[in-house]
């Protein structure tokens, strides 16, 4: 039995409530049996409305459970920037870390270091190639890619040239979306897939890629943007090329700029994830584990996806999944 499991069981068994203050960026103090556990959420990148919405869900659940939550994220979506943040978090010795690893391979070692310090680690959104985290909570990204292929096929009348803009190879989520998109396109023999290009999570670069592709392929019919910045940039590139009527765009995610692009008809559909549910579920699973010492029964927990279109965007059960710029 590890030290944390023992502490959790001892506290539960003795009916003890451990008291603790909230550090900077912390939230907590509710009643709900969180025993004031200290949890750190490390986002893939700061300022991305997907991770902000995840933070909102995590904060809300931490407040309900009486756990203390500290949220941090690197300035760039990169293992080089995320690793020192994780190392500093390990030094602070929280009970649990929820992390969206920025690379399937490069983040294995740093995450192992946290586990070696007896910190309970869950991956949220992205995952790593080695099965060392207690569980991963994420969207079904392969299925999301398939749904994107279907939505794009419908938008272009099931025929024509399409291509994909993604982030960079080696990110579990966007790799799986690309895979699902490519598999989904196989059902449409009249669609010609021109491949995937990578924007390094930079919307400006995605815009240049889209613009250049439209110049090279004047009859381009559609673009799939595999994440928020790829899709946002794709829409800008299509406008710059003056082809927003011809080129149909389907984007993963549902940030405020993407929603504006949908309403203004530059974009035809958005595959919204449920990031607040990922954050909330991550905090709940961490607290459950810390209290009971029992490893989660499911290693892969899938949250939902919602396809957002101009037809359904005003419906409350769709609108609630649009991402937030602040909690």
Q: Which residues bind ligand T6T (CB under 6 A)?
A: 44, 48, 50-51, 125-126, 171, 173, 227-229, 252-253, 273
Q: How far is the CB of 126 from ligand T6T (least distance, A)?
A: 5
Of the two residues 27 and 201, which places its CB atom closer to ligand T6T in the complex?
A: 201
Nearer to ligand T6T, 97 or 271 (CB): 271
Rounded Cα distance, 170 and 300, in Å: 19
- Strand ranges across the sheet with 136-139: 68-72, 38-42, 96-99, 120-124, 136-139, 300-303
Choose between 174 and 284: whose C-beta lies nearer to ligand T6T.
174
Minimum distance from residue 139 beta carbon to ligand T6T (Å)? 7
Minimum distance, C-beta of residue 148 to ligand T6T, in the bound complex (Å):
12
Strand ranges (E), 125-268: 136-139, 160-166, 191-198, 220-225, 248-252
Pick the closer one to ligand T6T by CB: 36 or 104: 104
Q: How far apart are CA 18 and CA 285, in angstroms?
A: 19
Q: Output 229 or 289, the one with its CB closest to ligand T6T.
A: 229
d(CA 162, CA 154): 12
Tokens of 312: 């359904």
Cβ 306 vs Cβ 274: under 8 Å: yes
Closest CA to 210 of 257, 171, 163, 246: 163
DSSP letters of 63-99? Answer: HHHT-EEEEE--SSSSHHHHHHHHHHHHHH--SEEEE
User: How far apart are CB 125 and ligand T6T at their closest, in Å?
Assistant: 5
Distances (CA, A) of 141 to 126, 180, 274: 10, 7, 12
Nearest to 144 by CA among 49, 296, 275: 275
Cβ 327 to ligand T6T, closest distance in Å? 16
Choose between 144 and 293: whose C-beta lies nearer to ligand T6T.
144
Nearer CB in complex with ligand T6T: 26/101: 101
Shortest Cβ 143–ligand T6T spacing (Å): 13
Distance set, CA 177 to CA 18, 140, 182, 201, 255 (Å): 42, 9, 9, 15, 18
Task: Between 241 and 249, name the residue whose CB sits nearer to ligand T6T.
Answer: 249
Least separation, in Å, of the C-beta of 314 and ligand T6T? 24
Give Cα 51 to chain centroid, integer Å. Answer: 6
Work out how close the CB of 252 gets to ligand T6T at its nearest, in angstroms, rounded to a whole number: 6
């Amino acid at each position: 039995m590890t030290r944390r499991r023992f502490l959790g069981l001892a506290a539960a068994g003795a009916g003890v409530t451990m008291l603790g203050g909230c550090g900077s960026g912390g939230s907590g103090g509710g009643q709900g049996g969180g025993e004031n556990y200290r949890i750190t959420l490390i986002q893939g990148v700061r300022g991305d409305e997907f991770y902000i919405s995840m933070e909102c869900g995590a904060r809300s659940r931490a407040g309900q459970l009486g756990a203390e939550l500290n949220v941090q994220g690197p300035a760039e979506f990169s293992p080089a920037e995320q690793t020192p943040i994780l190392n500093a978090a390990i030094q602070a010795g929280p009970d649990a870390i929820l992390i969206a690893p920025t690379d399937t391979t490069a983040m294995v070692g740093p995450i192992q270091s946290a586990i070696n310090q007896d910190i309970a680690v869950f991956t949220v959104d992205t995952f790593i190639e080695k099965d060392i985290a207690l569980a991963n909570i994420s969207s079904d990204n392969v299925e999301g890619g398939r749904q994107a292929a279907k939505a794009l096929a419908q938008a272009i009348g099931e025929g024509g040239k399409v291509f994909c803009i993604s982030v960079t190879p080696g990110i579990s989520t966007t790799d799986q979306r690309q895979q699902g998109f490519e598999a989904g396109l196989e059902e449409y023999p009249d669609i010609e897939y021109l491949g995937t290009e990578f924007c390094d999570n930079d919307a400006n670069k995605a815009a240049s890629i889209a613009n250049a592709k439209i110049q090279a392929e004047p009859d381009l019919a559609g673009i799939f943007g595999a994440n928020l910045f790829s899709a946002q940039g794709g829409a800008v590139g299509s406008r710059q090329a003056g082809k927003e009527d011809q080129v149909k765009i389907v984007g993963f995610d549902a940030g405020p700029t993407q929603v504006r692009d949908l309403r203004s008809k530059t974009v035809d559909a958005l595959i919204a994830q449920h990031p607040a549910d990922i954050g909330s579920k991550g905090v709940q699973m961490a607290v459950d584990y810390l209290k009971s010492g029992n490893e989660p029964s499911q290693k892969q927990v899938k949250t939902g996806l919602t396809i957002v279109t101009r037809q359904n965007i005003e419906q409350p059960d769709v609108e609630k999944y649009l991402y937030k710029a602040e909690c």
